[in-house]
């Protein structure tokens, strides 16, 4: 089973460094927990003829719609074999831009999607509170 990195904000916290660019194991489609690696491999192996066929890779792009632009760019890259903005975008910036996209009402995350950075922090703080309350004194 594919292990998914649950967000660039977590990897940034762990390493105390801001990642310079999106890594292969960073999520590309937050709604369906699909990594950049999975998309790149899907393109390489399945050789889709249209960008819309990337939705057959675990439903990528069929949730909130945030990643559709990037899926199209990866598809175009594979056809043209060029590097572009997708590889120069920091994964933390990608996550923050998606959060802005969602909070501005332009898309609604699929059920079970990777939470927005603020939601993730809120969930983490609730978990810390619960751990504190259940800890023996």
Which spans of this chain sit near ligand FES (rule: CB under 6 A)? 29-31, 61-67, 109
Cβ 133 to ligand FES, closest distance in Å?
Answer: 34
Nearer to ligand FES, 29 or 86 (CB): 29
Nearer to ligand FES, 19 or 101 (CB): 101
Cβ 132 to ligand FES, closest distance in Å?
Answer: 33
Cβ 90 to ligand FES, closest distance in Å?
Answer: 17
Nearer to ligand FES, 24 or 130 (CB): 24
Contacts made by residues 102-107, CB under 8 angstroms, sequence distance 24+: 102/64, 102/66, 106/64, 106/65, 107/63, 107/64, 107/65, 107/66
CA 18 to chain centre: 16
Phi-psi region of 79 (alpha: psi -120 to 50; beta: other; left: phi over 0): alpha
Cβ 15 to ligand FES, closest distance in Å?
Answer: 23
- Is residue 87 within 8 Å of 39, Cβ to Cβ? no
């Amino acid at each position: 089973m594919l292990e998914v990195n649950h967000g660039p904000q977590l990897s940034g916290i762990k390493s105390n460094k801001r990642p310079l660019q999106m890594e292969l194991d960073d999520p590309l489609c937050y709604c369906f927990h699909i990594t950049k690696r999975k998309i790149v491999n899907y393109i390489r192996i399945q050789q889709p003829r249209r960008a819309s066929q990337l939705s057959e890779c675990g439903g990528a792009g069929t949730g909130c719609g945030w990643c559709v632009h990037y899926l199209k760019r990866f598809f175009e890259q594979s056809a043209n074999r060029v590097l572009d903005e997708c590889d120069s975008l920091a994964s933390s910036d990608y996550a923050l831009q998606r959060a802005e996209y969602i909070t501005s009402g332009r898309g609604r995350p699929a059920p079970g999607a990777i939470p927005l950075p603020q939601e993730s922090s809120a969930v983490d703080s609730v978990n810390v509170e619960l751990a504190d309350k259940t800890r023996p004194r």
